[in-house]
Structure 1
Amino acid sequence: MDRAKQLGEERIGRLLLKFSIPAIVGMIVNALYNIVDRIFVGQGVGSLAISGIAITFPITTVIMAFGMLVGIGSTALVSIRLGQQRRDEAEKIVANALILLVIISLILTVFGLLYKRPILRSFGAGEAVIKYADDYITIILLGVIFQNVGFGMNNLIRADANPKTAMFTMLIGAIANTILDPIFIFVFHQGIKGAAIATIISQALSAAWVLLYFFGKRSMLKIHRKNLYLKKRIILSIFSIGISPFSMQLAASVVTIILNRSLAKYGGDISIAAMGIINSVSMLILMPIFGINQGAQPIIGYNYGAQKYDRVKKTLKLAIIAATSICIVGFIIVELFPVSIISIFNRTDNELIKIGSNGIRIFLAMLPIIGFQIVSSNYFQAVGKPKHSMFLSLSRQVIILIPLLLILPRIFKLKGVWLAGPSADFLSSLITAIFLYVEIRNLNHIQKNGAH
Structure 2
Amino acid sequence: MSKDNTQQDLGSESIIKLLIKFSIPAIIGMVVNMLYNVVDRMYIGNIPHVGGLAITGVGITMPVTQIITGFGMLVGIGTCASISIAFGKQNKKEAQRYLGNGLLGIITLSILVAVLGNLFAEQILILFGASENTLPYALSYIRPLLWGTICNLFAFGLNNSIRSDGNPKLSMLTMIIGAAINIILDPIFIFALDLGIQGAAYATVISQFIAGCWVLYYFTKSSKSSIKITLEDMKLDLGIMKNILVIGLAPFCMQFASSIVSVIANKSLMMHGGDLAIGAMAIITSISTIYIMPIFGINQGAQPIIGYNFGANKFERVRQTYMYSLIASTVFLFISFIFVQTFPYIAVGMFNNDPELTEITVSGMRLFLLSMPIIGIQMTASNYYQAVGKAKKAMVISLSRQIIFLIPCFLIIPRFLGLQGVWLAGPIADLLAIAFSSIFIFKEMRELKKMANDPELSMKSASPDLVA
> Does residue 1:134 correspond to 2:139, yes or no?
yes
Instruction: Indicate the residue corresponding to 1:368 in structure 2.
Output: 373
Instruction: Give 1:380 deviation, angstroms.
Output: 1.1
Per the alignment, in what secondary structure is the counterpart of residue 280 of structure 1? helix
| 2:280 aligns with one of 274, 279, 284 | 274
Aligned to 1:304, which of 296, 302, 310? 310
- Cα shift readout 1:393-440 (whole Å, capped 9, x = no counterpart): 111111111111100111111011100100111111111111112112
| Residues 1:377 and 2:345 aligned together | no
Mapped partners of 2:234, 2:75: distance in 1:
15
Note if contact 2:314-2:452 (Cα within 8 Å) is conserved in structure 1.
no
User: In the alignment, is residue 315 of structure 1 matched against residue 318 of structure 2?
Assistant: no
Question: How far does the alpha carbon of each residue in 1:336-378 deviate from its partner, in whole angstroms, 9 at most, with x for none?
Answer: 111221111112x111011000011100000000112201121
222-231 vs 246-255, which deviates more? 222-231
CA deviation digits over 1:222-257, x for unaligned, max 9?
112211211100110001111100100001110111
Structure 1 position 30 matched with structure 2 position 36: no
Q: What is the distance in 2 between the residues matched to 1:187 and 1:307? A: 57
State the match for 2:175 in structure 1: 170
Which of 67, 80, 85 is 1:80 aligned to?
Answer: 85
| Cα shift at 1:301 | 0.5
For 1:377 and 1:224, the matched residues in 2 are separated by 32
The answer as to 2:20 corresponding to 1:17 is yes
Give the equivalent residue in structure 2 for 1:250.
Answer: 256
Q: Which amino acid aligns with 1:363?
A: F
Distance apart, 1:286 and its partner CA: 0.5
Q: Report the CA distance between 1:448 and its aligned residue.
A: 2.9
1:359 corresponding residue in structure 2? 364
Runs of 4+ in 1 over 3 A off after TM superposition: none
Find the aligned partners of 2:22 and 2:75 in 1 and give their Cα distance: 21
Q: Tell me how many residue pairs correspond in the alignment.
A: 451
Is residue 241 of structure 2 the alignment partner of residue 238 of structure 1?
Answer: no
Instruction: Give the aligned partner of residue 206 of structure 1.
Output: 211
Counterparts in 2 of 1:50-89, with a 5 A limit? Answer: 50-89=55-94
Query: What secondary structure does 1:227 align onto?
Result: coil
Matching of residues 277-356 of structure 1 within 5 Å? 277-347=283-353, 349-356=354-361
Q: Which residue of 1 aligns with 2:463?
A: none
Pick the aligned partner of 1:94 from 95, 99, 112. 99
> 2: CA distance between counterparts of 1:251 and 1:107?
20
Q: CA deviation at 1:447?
A: 2.6
1:146 maps onto 2:155 in alignment: no
How many angstroms apart in 1 are the aligned matches of 2:159 and 2:364? 34
2: CA distance, partners of 1:109 / 1:62: 12
- Contact kept, 8 Å, 2:368 with 2:425, in 1: the verdict is yes
Please give the alpha-carbon distance, in whole angstroms, between the structure 2 residues aligned to 1:281 and 1:138. Answer: 24
2:257 corresponds to 1:228: no
Deviations 1:41-79, CA, capped at 9 Å, x for gaps = 111241100001110010011011010000001111110
Partner residue in 2 for 1:406: 411
Residue 122 of structure 1: aligned partner: 127
Task: Measure, in 2, the Cα distance between the counterparts of 1:445 and 1:327.
Answer: 31
Q: Report the TM-score, using the length of structure 1 for normalisation.
A: 0.99
In structure 1, C-alpha distance between the alignment counterparts of 2:453 and 2:46, rounded to whole Å: 60
- CA drift of 1:444 comes to 2.2
Partner of 2:43: 40
**Structure 1 residue aligned with 2:220:** 215
Question: Partners of 1:55 and 1:400 in 2: how far apart?
Answer: 22
Do the aligned partners of 2:145 and 2:202 also contact (CA within 8 Å) in 1?
yes
Q: Distance in 1 between matches of 2:291 and 2:226?
A: 32
1:430 to 417, 427, 435: 435
Shift of 1:443: 1.7
Per-residue deviation, 1:32: 1.0
Q: Does the CA contact (< 8 Å) of 2:110 and 2:149 recur in 1?
A: yes
Aligned residue type for 2:259:
S
Identify the residue that residue 465 of structure 2 maps to in structure 1.
none
User: What is the alpha-carbon distance in structure 1 between the residues aligned to residue 378 and residue 22 of structure 2?
Assistant: 20
Query: Is the CA contact 2:319–2:449 (under 8 Å) kept in the aligned structure 1?
Result: no
CA deviation after TM superposition for structure 1 residue 204, in Å = 0.4
Is 2:315–2:451's contact at 8 Å kept on the other side of the alignment? no
The 5-angstrom pairing of residues 188-203 of structure 1 reads: 188-203=193-208
Q: How big is the alpha-carbon RMSD for the aligned residues of Structure 1 and Structure 2?
A: 0.9
Q: Tell whether 2:112 aligns with 1:107.
A: yes
1:128-154 Cα distance to aligned partner (Å, 9 max, x none) = 100000111111111000001111110
1-structure distance, mates of 2:352, 2:369: 20
Gaps of 5+ in 1: none
Match of 1:159 in 2: 164
What are the ranges of 5 or more consecutive residues in structure 2 without an aligned counterpart?
Answer: 460-468
Q: Partner residue of 1:5?
A: 8
What residue identity is the alignment partner of 1:383?
V
| Alpha-carbon distance in 1 for matches of 2:446, 2:215 | 40
Give the Cα separation in 1 of the matches to 2:234 and 2:322.
35
